[in-house]
A and B are shown apart, each in its own frame.
Chain A
Amino acid sequence: MLLPSVLQPLAGGLSVLTTPADGPVTVASLLDAVASDYAVLGRRLRDETGALRRYVNIYIDGDEVRRLQGLDTEVMPGQEVLVIQSVAGG
């Protein structure tokens, strides 16, 4: 999982997080693993209901997961998951 620079301090300064997987895993379980290691980072990405925050976008091979199966979208071993904040604010 590739993190934007603004979130990297919450992951011990890492820009890339990896998790072992024998087969496909869902985005939700990937985020569970992130939250297990980095609780504050986990809360930045999802609210307490488990929903992806409105202005957080997660891409898998260029596709935003909301256009796929949302957090149930499966990630294959070796695939990159990109976290990007959407263009918002004023």
Chain B
Amino acid sequence: MVRMATAAESFVLAIGTKKGLWLATSRDRQEWSLTGPHFLMSEIPSIGIDTREGRTRILVGVRSPHWGPTVAHSDDLGATWTEPEQGAIKFPEDTGAAVERVWQIYPDAESRPGVVWAGAEPISLWKSTDGGEHFELNRGLWDHPHRSEWGAGYGGAAAHSIVVAPSGETVHVAMSTGGVYRSADGGTSWEARNKGISAYFMPDPNPEFGQCVHKIAADAAVEGRLYAQNHHGVYRTDDNADSWNSIAGGLPADFGFVMLTHPRRDGTAWVIPLKADGERIPPDGRLAVHRTDDAGNTWKRLSSGLPEHEYNSVLRDAASVDTAEPAGVYFGTRGGAVYASADEGETFSEVASHLPDVLCVRAAVVAGA
């Protein structure tokens, strides 16, 4: 069933690449119109689409290899962009640190308007209360005693996943490499929460922290349930990350970067497996999304509409869902192809091809456009 946008709304898909941002709009999630590139020759590793307060604000992490990182936002679907004069995100002087790249922009819940979280490299968590125009460093995580032992994944050392529980008190962040950390007090203090997640690449394969988690996402309806795609390993927790259990059975590979969850339905999540750490291609060169509807007990392979052969990988934030019914699923490859599904992954169509490497995609149902 094709879900059309109402007369007053449309679908927006923001595509962040290594060389700029493209914005796609659609009425039916089948036919798309693209504009771009915005920020040509700057990479766009993070995007947040904030549809709260009756406004659509697109926030982007921008990074030029020459001119550094910044955060910009647009309230008119990309027609104009604003960058705060003094910068939206910068380390306090006493830290002696400088932002290298903004990896994650996460608008908080409807009940907390104006609150936007960000994850950055070096490993750091940030919070804005003015819609992403100014961010403040989370000192609890920055001053964490484990910091000196956190490492850098291939892409850099960053906090790349942020999950805030509906109450706002429980916050999970995931970092590469360091693993999953949880705050039970709204971000004041943090504890490593990686029990059950393997770190096979370390002398102790079951350390308290040091895991290379690639992405975490919260179940839509079951509080305390999260899913994790790890550097080899797919996991679920039902106790707010006190313990994790493998749900990789039924998948063709337990490696990959993507973890998506349904906007409303419990038990539904998507991954895009890659064969292995040492072979970062879709298994057998055949690209497919896998969806579970029972919290990881079983998985369904979904590839209708996807190319027969594909040897590019899909990065951790190069996938997204929208909030429509049925939910849309979107992803882009490092080969510059972008796909959309209007039926939760059952069928895909190509939105764009031959773009630069896709680093991040985010989709939303927005007013107007």
Interface centre among A7, A48, A49, A89 (most CB of B within 10 A): A48
Q: How far is the CB of B140 from chain A (nearest CB, A)?
A: 21
Choice from A7, A53, A88, A89 contacting B68 with Cβ under 8 Å: A53
A40 at the interface (CB under 8 A from B): yes
B278 at the interface (CB under 8 A from A): no
B66 at the interface (CB under 8 A from A): yes
A49 to B96 Cα, complex, angstroms? 6
A44 to B86 Cα, complex, angstroms? 11
Interface pair A48/B90, CB less than 8 Å apart: yes
Chain B interface residue bracket vs A: 10 to 19
Interface pair B87/A48, CB less than 8 Å apart: yes
Choice from A45, A51, A86, A89 contacting B98 with Cβ under 8 Å: A51
Residues of A within 8 A of B67 (CB): 7, 44-45, 53, 56, 85
Interface string of B66-100 (1 = CB under 8 A from A): 11101000000000000101110011010011110
Interface centre among B68, B83, B96, B99 (most CB of A within 10 A): B68
Chain A residue with Cβ nearest B97:
A49
Q: How far is the CB of A20 from chain B (nearest CB, A)?
A: 23
Assuming A40-B83, A48-B90, is B66 touching A85 (CB within 8 A)? yes
Assuming A55-B65, A89-B41, is B98 touching A40 (CB within 8 A)? no
Q: How far is the CB of B96 from chain A (nearest CB, A)?
A: 6
Assuming A49-B96, A51-B98, A89-B41, is B66 touching A43 (CB within 8 A)? no
Residues of A within 8 A of B68 (CB): 43-44, 47, 53
Q: Which residues of B contact A (CB under 8 A)?
A: 41, 64-68, 70, 83, 85-87, 90-91, 93, 96-99
Known: A39-B85, A53-B68. 17 other contacts (CB 8 A): A39-B87, A40-B85, A40-B87, A43-B70, A45-B67, A49-B93, A49-B98, A51-B98, A53-B67, A55-B66, A56-B66, A56-B67, A85-B66, A85-B67, A88-B66, A89-B41, A89-B66
